[in-house]
Structure formats: C-alpha cells, structure tokens
Amino acid sequence: MMTTDEAIAATLAGLAVPAPDGLRPAVLTELALADRYARIDSPIGPLLVAWNALGVSLVDAASDEDAFVARHRSVTGRAAYPAESLPAPLATAIERRLSGDPRVRIALDLRGHSPFEQDVWHKALEIPRGEVRPYGWVAAEIGRPRAVRAVGTALGHNPVPLIVPCHRVVRTDGTIGQYSLGGPGNKRTILRSEGLDPEDLESFAAAGIRYLGSDTTQVVCLPTCRHARRIATRHRVPFRSLRAAGEAGYRPCRVCRPDSGAALAA
C-alpha cells in the first residue's frame, strides 16, 4: 500500500512536460549550430533559402521542403528550421542581386566545402550579369587549367545557385550545358532574364564561332563580353580559335580574357 508521500512523489513525475517546439531551434540558431530557411521568389519560381549568422548556406527549388531540409543536413551537417521570412536586409540584398545590382554583397556560409570548390564559386561571382564564360576559362583563371571537368562538378555542387551565378558558366563549345537547379531549361530562363539570348549563343556555337573580334580595335573577345556586344555587325569578325585571331593580328580583350583556358580549348 502506497503512502501519501509516495503517491505525491509519483504524481510530481507527471509534472515533467515537453519543451515548446521553438526552444531547440532558438538555441541552435543562436549558436549558429543550425540554420533557418524561408521562401523567396525568383525568375525560375519559388526557392528556399537557408541562412545563419555567417551567411546564406543553401538555395534550392521550393518544390519539396522535406527534401530541402534533408539536403541541407547532408550539405552542411546542420539542422534547418522553417522561418516566416528572410531577415529584411538579406531579402532586399537577394532581390537586388537577382535584379542585377552587382554592388550588393551577400554573405555566404560555405564552411565545409573544399578550397577548390570555393575558388570555383568565387570565380563564378566575377562573371558579370548578361555574360557567360566557358568551364575551361574558370579552370584557367583559378590556376588549375587542366581541371575543367572538376570545375563542372564543383559548379554542379554549388549550394547557393543564383547567388553564386554558376548559370553563367557554359560549355567550352558555347552550348548551354547542365544546370543543377532544375536542368538546362532553367539555365536558359535565368540567362534570358539577365538579358542574354541563349539562342544567339547556340547559333554561334553551331557555326563553330568561339570568339568575336572588332576590325576597328583589333581586339578579340568571348562572344558575350560586354565589349564584343558593342561591336557593330559590319565590324564584327568571327573566329574559330584564338590562334586564328592572333594570326590575323588581333589581341585578347583584357576584360573577358579569352586567352584564359584557350590553349586547351584550341
């Protein structure tokens, strides 16, 4: 027979309760051991964006939230908890970046990724809106001219597509190439939203044209370089290789540096 004191003690055990749902996320995000995520709009539809105190850690299509959380876990090793919206300054910065303001800075949390991958992504950040560069160009620019395939893989693993514009890197022959965020169709949509016509790019590629020169300046560019796009049609001289351009007396543009990776492309 239980005494009253024993019954009281036993009843007190029932006063243990589960913590509110918000406690764990609040602790882990305060310590930057977990991230928040929320939805934003983009030219290719709604996206989910994860971030923490250090910066943005993951961007992906908003089609499947559970898959996003699982991918976040496998990419960062951390939990991600839903938030109502992005912090206002971050939302504004991303909106401005997507609408083409190159000056806006967006902090990124790329911890845990290899130095090679980070080099590739930082190089992609230098490609201006409305322009594209070949994989081989990125490889040469980061001092790894033979790592063209690895550059493609690194771009495919870009955890923050659109913010790091891996869509601005195309195949060396000028065709659009693969895209991690929903495939080549999305890559075309994004490039078009940035003022570049993918069909133009592909018609050059189909004709074997890799470079465009100006017969007034004797400078040769990659086809989407802002300087190449200013060349009037009657002064535009197409080249299949940089060697041919060199033999014709043209020098490489100092802005788009077509000679980066050109030796391998030739």
Burial grade of 238 (CB within 10 A; 0-12, 13-18, 19 or more): middle
From candidates 46, 64, 70, 77, binder to another protein by CB under 8 A = 77
Specify whether the CB–CB gap between 95 and 86 falls below 8 A: no
Q: Rounded to an integer, what distance in angstroms lies between the CA atom of residue 243 and that of residue 215?
A: 16
Q: Rounded to an integer, what distance in angstroms lies between the CA atom of residue 173 and that of residue 95?
A: 32
From candidates 61, 62, 75, 79, binder to another protein by CB under 8 A = 79
Q: Which stretch binds another protein (CB under 8 A): 73-81, 121-129, 203-211, 235-243?
A: 73-81
Q: Rounded to an integer, what distance in angstroms lies between the CA atom of residue 199 and that of residue 190?
A: 13
Sign of the dihedral defined by the CA atoms of residues 141, 143, 149, 152, in that order:
negative
Q: Which is nearer to another protein, 29 or 189 (CB)?
A: 29
* CB 67 to another protein: min, Å: 20
Between 28 and 57, how does the x/- string for binding to another protein read (CB under 8 A)? Answer: x-xx-xx-----------------------
User: CA 38 from chain center: how many Å?
Assistant: 18
**Residues 105-144 interacting with another protein (rule: CB under 8 A):** none
Annotated catalytic residue 221: no
Q: Rounded to an integer, what distance in angstroms lies between the CA atom of residue 143 and that of residue 81?
A: 38
Q: Which is nearer to another protein, 23 or 206 (CB)?
A: 23
* CB 72 to another protein: min, Å: 13
2 scored as a contact of another protein (CB under 8 A): yes
232 scored as a contact of another protein (CB under 8 A): no
* CB 69 to another protein: min, Å: 14
Q: Which is nearer to another protein, 22 or 143 (CB)?
A: 22
78 scored as a contact of another protein (CB under 8 A): yes
Helices (H) and strands (E) in the chain, counts: 11, 10
**Residues 3-32 interacting with another protein (rule: CB under 8 A):** 4-20, 22-24, 26-28, 30-31
3-state SS of 209-238 is CCEEEECCCCEEECCCCCCHHHCCHHHEEE
Give the active site residue among 166, 221, 225, 253. Answer: 166
| Number of residues lying near another protein (CB under 8 A) | 31
Specify whether the CB–CB gap between 19 and 34 falls below 8 A: no
* CB 27 to another protein: min, Å: 4
Q: Which is nearer to another protein, 30 or 41 (CB)?
A: 30
Scored b (16 or more CB within 10 A) or e, 226-237 reads ebbbebeeeeee
Catalytic residues: 166
| Residues in contact with another protein by the rule CB under 8 A | 2, 4-20, 22-24, 26-28, 30-31, 33-34, 77-79
